[in-house]
Amino acid sequence: MPYISFLVFVVITSFTPGPNNIMAMAFANQYGLGKTIQFCLGVGIGFCTITALSCFFNIALISVMPIITVPLTILGVGYMLYLAFKILTSKENDENSHHTKDNSRSFLLLGVFLQFVNPKGILFGITVVATYILPYYSSFTSYIFFALFLGFVGITSTFSWALFGSVFRKVLIKYRQPFNILMALLLLYSAFSILIH
């Protein structure tokens, strides 16, 4: 396996702006880093699951992809537009101080669910598995290892964006409306870039 090529592809794809990272930064700004960690874990769990499924069902997925690409794209874009709307219309931080542990669980589920409607993430999973894993490895153990590794990368990338949102929280609170507009526009860009590719 060309490890350097694999790592470069994974890092660039995982750490560049996309729905996961933009949402992590926006959530950390709005709810704080502690609650956003649940979202980051959800992203990792979801991405680990997508990678494992891609390993075990890669041939079936490739043959089914042409059939599910359009519905998946529509669902993913619609969900990203919904998230952009929610960020744009979110309330002040003080009003969110009453969120409970149940809300943290919903952040975890949101992170997991986002991976199943994120065409970029699914296509990334299929691409990395087909290009870097299946040609070189054939054991169940190696598939699980790579799924866990890519899940960890997903957690790390979203956490780094969440950390940025948390560290600059005071500044971002001061400029909350422009920040929310920027985050919503980045999500819109992510959604429409999926449509034109």
pLDDT in tens, 123-144: 778 778 878 888 888 888 999 9
C-alpha–C-alpha distance, residues 65 and 137, integer Å: 23
Q: Supply the Cα-derived Rg of the chain in whole angstroms.
A: 17
C-alpha–C-alpha distance, residues 102 and 68, integer Å: 33
If pLDDT is split at 50, 70 and 90, which confidence band does 160 have?
A: very high
* Main-chain dihedrals φ then ψ at residue 91, nearest 5 degrees: -85, 175
Digit-coded pLDDT (tens) for 91-111: 654 444 444 445 556 888 888
Counted domains in the chain = 1
Threshold 0.75, pTM exceeds: no
Structural domain span for residue 73: 3-196
Spatial neighbors of 184 by CB under 8 A, at least 6 apart, are: 84, 85, 87, 88
- Sign (positive/negative) of CA torsion 16, 11, 127, 162? negative
